[in-house]
Amino acid sequence: MTFNDAMRLFVRHLVTEKLRSGETVRAYVADLQGFSEYLSESGKPNELNNIQKIDQFHVRGFLAKGFGRLKKTSVGRKLAALRTFFRFLVREKVLAVNPAAAVKAPKTEKPLPKALTADEMDRFFVRNSETNKRDIAIFELLYSSGLRVGELTTLKIQDLDLSDGWVRVIGKGNKERYVPVGSRAVEALNEYLPTRAMLEAKARSASEKDALFLNSRGGQLSSRSVARILKTQVVCAGLAKNVSPHSFRHSFATHMLYGGADLRSIQELLGHASLSTTQRYTKADLAKLMEVYDRAHPRSGVRDEKPPMSEKSTRKKQASDIASGGLPLPKKE
């Protein structure tokens, strides 16, 4: 079997069996095409014509090409794509072993989620209060419910229950969850719906008519459009930060944690399959607590401690404070 034949078989598996999203499939295809180009540029036509000739050294060579040029996370993602691809071929008995299984991924440190502070979030909404009603509804819903931008753009009008303050979300792996919608988001969505009705009249298909957020032509709003709109509004709000739609999701989780919500509840709201993913936010919470501790605790070792004053110096300071009205006069014994 050729490499291209194997890739087509794998893509069909992702779409029909795994029900992966279009973006996920495109990411796999891009990584596999990159591996195919590496084999072609390296003068290895036999491996392209017969996938059974590919071994771990081809995989190592492909990844080594990215070191120094790509981030470690990108290299790790490419390896993960190849592992999944070859694992599928082993399951289909196209290959006897997975050539990527023995290749180790580069060690990476997971960065803490980047979140806006509550004050920055308030400033964002105050400065953009005159923004058009659709965009305000998008921002309020992202922050109110902690949605992924892909989940937001695929929402249908029938997924909303504004009377009870809920939204039905289809997350990763086609998993369904119900998430509360805050009062400000409900208000913003109610104000947007008349505008949406006018945009819906321009829609050309049934799927576009059902989409909650529509563009000016009546089509379903894309994730890229949301990111572009947000970038403009961040500048208008004067926030000197690189803010993405995912920053709103991180802010939602971090502020919920600060407010006393437990990890299990946050996991449920975010739609995380594993609690370990949600636990990243405890690191952000601990970092904030350490900052407060270092600033406030006398034995934190961070604050500059002044040496104790001598008895003579103490008397002088008390006299000065009394003269300036800062302390009461001492009582006569």
> Can 172 be counted among the known catalytic residues?
yes
Q: DSSP letters of 78-136?
A: HHHHHHHHHHHHHHTTS-SS-TTTTSPPPP-PPPPPP---HHHHHHHHHHTTTS-HHHH
Catalytic residue among 58, 78, 250, 272: 272
Catalytic residue among 196, 249, 250, 255: 249
Look at the block and give the residue holding tokens 């249908």: 156
Which is the catalytic residue, given 38, 143, 192, 281? 281
| b (16+ CB within 10 A) / e for 16-31 | eeeebbeeeeeebbeb
Which DSSP symbol is given to 146?
-
**Which residue intervals of 237-325 are DSSP H helices?**
245-258, 263-270, 275-278, 280-296, 311-323
DSSP helix/strand/coil, 220: strand
- Which residue in 172, 184, 202, 288 is the catalytic one? 172
Q: Which of 13, 77, 246, 288 is catalytic?
A: 246
Beta bridge pairs of residue 168: 178
Residue 246 falls in the annotated catalytic set: yes
Beta carbons of 176 and 168 less than 8 angstroms apart? yes
Strand positions, DSSP E, 136-281:
160-161, 166-170, 176-180
Residue 161 identity: D
Q: Give me the catalytic one of 148, 196, 250, 255.
A: 148
Beta strand spans in 123-220 (E): 160-161, 166-170, 176-180
Decide: helix, strand or coil at residue 50.
coil
Told to judge if 148 belongs to the known catalytic residues of this protein, a careful annotator would answer yes
Q: How far apart are CA 269 and CA 263, in angstroms?
A: 10
Please state, in angstroms and as integers, the Cα–Cα distance from residue 147 to each residue in 70, 153, 203, 251, 270, following that order. 29, 10, 25, 11, 7
Which residues are known catalytic residues?
148, 172, 246, 249, 272, 281
